[in-house]
Amino acid sequence: MNNYQHIDQQHYLPVFKRFPVTFVRGEGAWLYDENDKAYLDLLAGIAVNALGHNHPKLTEAICSQAQRLMHVSNFFSTPPQALLSKKLSEISGLPRVFLTNSGTESIEGAIKIARKHAFKKGRGHQILTAHRAFHGRTLGALAATAKSGQEAFAPLPEGFKKLDPLWGDDLRRQLDASVAAVLVEPIQGEGGIRFWPEGWLQELQTACHEKQVLLILDEIQTGIGRTGHWFAKDAFGLQPDLMTLAKGLGGGMPVGAVLCSEPVAQSMDYGDHGTTFGGNPLACSAALAVLEVLARPGFLKEVQEKGAAFCQTIERHQAVQINEVRGLGLMIGIELKKEALPVVKELLNQGLVCNATAGNVLRLVPPLTIPKKDWLEAAETIVQTIKNQAFAHA
């Protein structure tokens, strides 16, 4: 244990199970610890560092803006906030934007907006969410999340029910007048990089429109190029009433967003929602730099190609220890027959950073800029490590 880890254990709230590594700098897709050991970052701060580490476009934008204006408050407009709102509207097709500091704040904002809209329409306040969902850790987001151990934080906000992924009339019967909105992730991240049955998201969107229920897509992990599209909704042919963003939007700077349609936006009045730090010039400048890089010709196509090549590499080995490889773009889950954490620890020893989710799923969400050569070499190392771990515990 180094000195920083000792200080951390003495003073930080013990809510994280940290690995025994202290990172001090990063460059591209690589992280370096206090001994200057290099690690290939396949986690990107949990899908946050979209451009990797120390990207020149992003660092220049942050440094330049910090020298001009960092914060004023939302009593006033600033150029970075106005330009970011415009850009997000253009790439999403959703004309209204509210900027936040994090994903869980974006979820809380979306819930408030949906309930205000339902109130004005004379509908109920229920929010339907999915089994295995994860939407955050503040109380409203936690109430929308499928997670054990919630009784310790009771009473959670009321008005949340689970949606069964049914079809046709069975689906529509769940969308009665008590329901304000359905909140779903287009691909479940913490749930194990899980996809919905083919066509179900489109069926859900149609049903929501028919029943006048708002559709909220949680694109906090899937958005901002992660799947090789601006948003996962584009891959599935969806257009929600509201959408939440964060993680990759700032490339490492804390910034999130709630986007919504004009009819939904018109339900909100002055003072219905607000934020102190959300949409500050520094965070908005970082987000604009990220979006500018992602908009370069061929960038998102390359994300798609790198993801497909990785999955093909894993599948080619036909490792019996692997149940399934799931992914879209650079959001990939390798479902193992056993717990994934021992593999994560061994990969860390070998200089690869990733994590385990849903027990037996190895989650890989690297920087979108990761070089293809490094990425595919990592695939080979991962497969061999999975095989070696299985042999060692046989």
What does the DSSP assignment read for 284-351? HHHHHHHHHHHTSTTHHHHHHHHHHHHHHHHHHH--TTEEEEEEETTEEEEEESS-SHHHHHHHHHTT
Rounded to 5°, angle at Cα 160 from 108 and 153? 70
Q: Are 225 and 368 in contact (CB under 8 A)?
A: yes
CA distances (Å), origin 191, targets 156, 197, 328, 361, 363: 21, 15, 15, 9, 10
Closest CA to 242 of 269, 213, 271, 222: 213
In the set 134, 160, 231, 236, the catalytic residue is 134
For this structure, is 374 an active site residue? no
CA distances (Å), origin 190, targets 169, 179, 284: 29, 25, 27
With b meaning 16 or more CB within 10 Å and e meaning fewer, what string describes 267-288? bbeeeebebebbbbbbbbbbbb
H-type helices in 148-275, by residue range? 168-172, 200-211, 232-236, 262-265
In the set 218, 234, 241, 310, the catalytic residue is 218
For this structure, is 233 an active site residue? no
Tokens standing for 363? 């989650």
- Residue 198: CA atoms inside 13 Å, Cβ hemisphere, count? 0
In the set 231, 236, 241, 247, the catalytic residue is 247
For this structure, is 211 an active site residue? no
Annotated catalytic residues are 134, 218, 247
